[in-house]
Homo-oligomer: A and B are copies of this chain.
Amino acid sequence: MSVQERLTALGITLPDPSALALYRPAVRTRDLVYVSGQVAMRDGAVVHPGKLGDGVSVEQGREAARVCTINALGAASALLGSLEGVRVVRAVGYVASTPEFTDQSQVMNSASELLRDVLGEEQGVGARLALGVVSLPANSPVELELILETD
């Protein structure tokens, strides 16, 4: 199945990246694509704003991580024209957390699952970090960063 067929089967339409003055949604250098940090913005509003451990549940954090991932794939797709053949090198989930919350991995799993479902077992699973940060732009509960390899 192609990446586009998988996206269609999952009912996902990739958003266009927002026009930005001072940074690019994604940058290519040789065969690597660096995607800018994506917050959980959908239709102009952050999904489940706030922090894990203080009002945002793990399930809500997982939904936010999914939104970030769709945004990141949209940024890469707009740059490359297509996501066919793309491989995940590194994915980082920055999870807005209280000092007590330590389940960042569970939140990040939602991003990893979607990357695998869209890009496939072989291409969609890369190196990863899950980190607890004190706060994020626009009060997003999650920010996702991707480095992808293209051929």
Contact = CB atoms under 8 A, between A and B. Distances in A.
Interface string A59-76: 000000000000000000
A27 B131 contact: no
Interface in A104-123: 104-105, 109, 112-113, 116
Contacts of A24: 125-128
A31 B34 contact: no
Given A26-B127, A36-B129, A99-B135, 19 more contacts: A22-B109, A22-B116, A22-B125, A23-B112, A23-B125, A27-B89, A27-B90, A29-B31, A29-B32, A34-B127, A37-B128, A51-B99, A98-B99, A99-B134, A102-B137, A132-B135, A132-B136, A132-B137, A133-B133
